[in-house]
């Protein structure tokens, strides 16, 4: 009896140590080699209706209600809702982050965007191509090389003039470092200088992200409200 | 920019104007066209150093300190400070607004001061329209003559609109209208060929993007989209409408 109690207690303590200890062990491992490989596909997938709703939350309802909506399936993105206004809403996954982002394959990332018509025409092909490579299980290096080759061969388009998107979902999740960040607009250009828009300078409301290997420059402007009209944090 | 707030104020103020008109027709008429003609030129001019400083407030100092700065002279804009970063800062006057309609209320308002810092593509492809309008205004031409002159200019001399043309308009000291909020809001402006504002989702409920009625094909073939910046160029918080 006492032996049984001891065994049970020891098991519980062991379990607690394991459970409590796991996050720090995992975090240590993550820090060394965060998301170095693809998680099981199901971790990137979502309930279809939930994904449609999340995609639409990227822009005010006045824009997203008539937008085309794409959802991620086992083999890539599929149209879930046909649109009427030329906008396209989609929830991008972590493989659309920069290749050197430590959370590149974080299965928890959810990045809803609503792209305007020039953005949908010229940016979605990149989303689809990158997703295809990720779902095919390519290594990060091979994905990088494939995307570079696709642009070199002009199989992927450069941003059209006026290509932009809304990223104003309160539910967006960029991962542990940035959480849901802030609502913002993004504007895409063929690769150009940061200073083109005065981006990244002290006091400038414009931020910049230089893609690599994609020959694309993304300018980002924070806005004050989420897509539902509620106020966003000021910083 | 100024045209948008003028339009909003005009719409919101319409009922008040109608009310006043029924009791005091003459003042109501004045409220509709408070600035029917050009004021004496001196009222549009500024002290040179004050104008340089005001022009620079359009953008954060990190941008405007190395920008070219223009000031308005008796015959048009003149370079007051040479720049190093390709940006050009200028204080525009009321005549850069729409020629007609509710949005034209401040066209001749001599108090209007619209500091703008244009990025290099806009300095090359948008600023020439500021020069042209201003040159014809200062030559004393009528609105009809100016519109005709601009149409000719567009056909013969206007450089093609460059992709990525944009401008900063973040001056706390901007004076865009005679209403309670002279300085409206800090914002950025983006120039595109004429298009349906819906392509950017402009002016839809909860959209942060607004379509400025500044040009819109009347006659300049340019659309101007605006996005609030949230802060004035000095870093202090700005209202967002």
Mutation choice for A interface testing from B202, B208, B209, B236 by most A CBs within 10 A: B208
**B1: Cβ–Cβ under 8 A, 6 or more apart, which residues?**
B114, B169, B176, B184, B187, B189, B212, B214, B224, B226
Is the sign of the CA dihedral A178, A224, B63, B50 positive or negative? negative
Chain A residues closer than 8 Å to B238 by CB? none
Which pLDDT does position A24 carry in this prediction?
Answer: 42
Read off the pLDDT band of B6 (50, 70, 90).
very low
Q: How high is the mean pLDDT of chain A?
A: 87
The whole-angstrom separation of Cα A165 and Cα A60 is 12
- Put simply, the chain B residues between 24 and 53 with a CB less than 8 A from any chain A CB are none
**pLDDT at residue A204 above 50?**
yes
Distance from CA of A55 to the nearest CA of B (A): 16
**pLDDT at residue A4 above 70?**
no
Q: Which two tokens mark B200?
A: 């950017």
Distance from CA of A119 to the nearest CA of B (A): 10
Whether B233 sits inside 8 A of A166 (CB atoms) is no
Tens digit of each residue's pLDDT (9 = 90 or more) over A38-49: 999 999 999 999
Model-wide pTM > 0.90: no
Which pLDDT does position A26 carry in this prediction?
Answer: 42
Domain range annotation of chain A: 41-222
Whether B230 sits inside 8 A of A189 (CB atoms) is no
Whether A164 sits inside 8 A of B163 (CB atoms) is no
Query: Looking at this predicted complex, what is its ipTM?
Result: 0.82
Report which DSSP code applies to A108. Answer: T
Tens digit of each residue's pLDDT (9 = 90 or more) over B46-89: 999 999 999 999 999 999 999 999 999 999 999 999 999 999 99
The whole-angstrom separation of Cα A107 and Cα A134 is 12
The least confident of A8-22, A38-52, A179-193, B80-94 is A8-22
Q: Count, in order, helices (H) and strands (E) of chain A.
A: 5, 8
Whether B192 sits inside 8 A of A162 (CB atoms) is yes
**B172: Cβ–Cβ under 8 A, 6 or more apart, which residues?**
B57, B183, B186, B232, B233, B234, B236, B238
Which pLDDT does position B238 carry in this prediction?
Answer: 87
| Strand-strand pairing, A68-73 and B210-212 | unpaired
Establish if B87 touches chain A: CB-CB under 8 angstroms.
yes
Q: What percent of chain B has pLDDT over 90?
A: 65
Q: Tell me what the mean pLDDT of segment A51-64 comes to.
A: 98
Distance from CA of A226 to the nearest CA of B (A): 9
Q: Which two tokens mark B178?
A: 């005679």
Q: Which residue has the higher pLDDT, A20 or A76?
A: A76
Q: Is B54 exposed, middle or buried (0-12, 13-18, 19+ CB in 10 A)?
A: buried
């Amino acid at each position: 009896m006492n032996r049984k109690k001891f065994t049970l207690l020891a098991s519980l303590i062991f379990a607690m140590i394991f459970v409590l200890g796991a996050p720090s062990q995992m975090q240590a491992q993550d820090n060394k080699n965060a998301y170095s490989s693809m998680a099981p596909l199901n971790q990137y997938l979502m309930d279809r209706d939930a994904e449609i709703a999340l995609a639409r939350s990227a822009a005010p309802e006045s824009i997203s209600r008539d937008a085309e909506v794409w959802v991620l399936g086992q083999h890539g993105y599929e149209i879930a809702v046909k649109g009427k206004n030329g906008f396209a809403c989609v929830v991008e996954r972590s493989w659309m982050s920069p290749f050197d982002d430590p959370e590149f394959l974080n299965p928890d990332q959810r990045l809803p965007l609503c792209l305007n018509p020039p953005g949908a025409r010229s940016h979605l092909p990149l989303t689809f191509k990158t997703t295809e490579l990720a779902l095919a299980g390519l290594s990060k290096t091979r994905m990088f090389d494939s995307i570079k080759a696709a642009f070199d061969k002009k199989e992927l388009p450069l941003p059209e003039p006026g290509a932009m998107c809304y990223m104003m979902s309160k539910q967006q999740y960029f991962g542990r470092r940035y959480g849901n960040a802030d609502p913002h607009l993004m504007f895409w250009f063929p690769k150009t200088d940061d200073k083109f828009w005065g981006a990244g300078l002290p006091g400038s409301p414009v931020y910049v992200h230089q893609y690599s290997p994609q020959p694309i420059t993304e300018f980002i402007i924070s806005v004050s409200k989420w897509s539902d009209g509620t106020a966003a944090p000021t910083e | 920019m100024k045209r948008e707030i003028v339009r909003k104020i005009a719409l919101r103020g319409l009922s008040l104007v109608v009310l006043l008109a029924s009791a005091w027709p003459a003042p109501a008429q004045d409220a509709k066209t408070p600035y029917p003609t050009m004021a004496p030129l001196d009222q549009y001019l500024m002290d040179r150093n004050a104008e340089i400083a005001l022009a620079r407030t359009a953008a954060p100092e990190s941008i405007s300190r190395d920008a070219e700065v223009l000031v308005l002279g008796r015959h048009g804009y003149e370079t007051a400070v040479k720049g190093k970063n390709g940006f050009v800062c200028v204080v525009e006057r009321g005549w850069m607004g729409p020629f007609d309609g509710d949005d034209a209320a401040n066209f001749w308002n001599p108090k209007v001061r619209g500091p703008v810092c244009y990025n290099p593509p806009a300095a090359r492809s948008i600023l020439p329209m500021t020069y042209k309008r201003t040159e014809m205004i200062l030559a004393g031409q009528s609105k009809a003559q100016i519109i005709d002159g601009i149409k000719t200019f567009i056909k013969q001399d206007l450089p093609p609109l460059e992709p990525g043309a944009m401008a900063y308009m973040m001056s706390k000291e901007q004076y865009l209208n005679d209403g309670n909020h002279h300085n409206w809001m800090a914002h950025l402006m983006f120039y595109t060929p004429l298009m349906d504002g819906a392509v950017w989702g402009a002016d839809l409920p909860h959209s942060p993007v607004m379509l400025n009625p500044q040009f819109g094909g009347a006659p300049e073939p340019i659309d101007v989209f605006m996005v609030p910046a949230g802060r004035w160029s000095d870093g202090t918080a700005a209202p967002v409408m």
